[in-house]
Amino acid sequence: MITVIVGKPHDGVKTKLVSLSDVVGATNEAEFEAGSRANIKPGEPKWANYVKGCIANFICDVPAFNAVIVSTVPAGAGLSSSAALEVATYTFLETLSGKKPEKPEEKALACQKAEHNFTGVPCGIMDQFISVMGKEGCALLLDCRDLITKQIPMLHMDNYIFLITNSNAPHKLSSSAYCERRDCCFEAAKILGKKSLRDANINDIQTLISRNASDHVIKRARHVVTEIQRTLDAAIALEKGDFQQFGRLMNESHDSLRDDYEVSSKELDSLVSAAREVDGVLGSRLTGAGFGGCTVTLLRKDVVNKTIQHMKAKYAGIPAFYIATPAGGAREISIN
């Protein structure tokens, strides 16, 4: 899956965008006046706001340009289609202007800000970071407390592969659901006297219970605290080439997302359950923000077809399947 933007500047005053991807309920063309970044405002069609937001948050003004965008990343599936568009756009603007931020995290943060301010989606930073800093053959460990990253080589993967399954039950990042969970985490941190739950540990969950925190606060905090530890453990497992352990952590992660964070769905649970029934599947969990979208499954290469057929037979809907491998992030592509 890939998102590509191709274009060139011109001497006019209007920027024109054409999307060759299916844009549901909107025109595939957008046009707006270029000029000062401060004058760029969100509007219709909504998909163009991801591009406008990147222009408005770029490090300098850019000339008007014409561009064509094509993406094979399914929209509304929780596979970071918006981050892919943002980071591809920002990379295009770098090429157009000849200027880049000093640090790659500045690029990711600018794209996140574009999504917050121009589309109204209160997204996190993980999608933008991996779209900027992805490295072939590696996983990216991101600590959201200080934005420190570490590339984790995924060695000894010759016999294993990741299978992405799109439930085709649309993923919707509900602002109210997101804010409810975020607010619960803020409340838990406040009760514990900590800046954030990144500073908490499993013993703090008992403290929340003893201080009569609500069930929702306890469950949301328990997921976050245990997920942080699972993430650290997963990085160690990858470094050791211990894919059995990595798969077990994937399973634990999904169960926690389902039971404590409550962001799964019957479609996602059905796909995960079906995948886990196949011998040779090491782990399966939802991916993205939940509430529909996709699952990711780690399995042996020799059982891919068997797993797909079993999931199709068990799932009430019509899923789509993709083979995923760790690849590089956004970059300029030479046409020569």
Active site residue 183: no
Q: Choosing from 61, 127, 146, 158, which is the catalytic residue?
A: 127
pLDDT at 171: 61
Whole-angstrom CA distances from 93 to 45, 89, 187, 188, 264 are 20, 6, 40, 41, 37
CATH of domain 3-133: 3.30.230.10
Phi, psi torsion values for 75, nearest 5 degrees: -75, 150
Q: Is the Cβ–Cβ distance between 315 and 332 less than 8 Å?
A: no
Q: Which residue bears the tokens 């013993």? A: 203
pLDDT at 26: 60
Q: Does 12 have pLDDT greater than 60? A: yes
Among 41-45, 100-104, 145-149, 276-280, top mean pLDDT goes to: 276-280
Pairing of strands 65-71, 320-324: unpaired
Is the domain spanning 154-324 CATH 3.30.450.40? The answer is no
- What residue spans define the domains of the chain? 3-133, 154-324
Q: Does 21 have pLDDT greater than 80? A: no
Average pLDDT over residues 157-178: 82
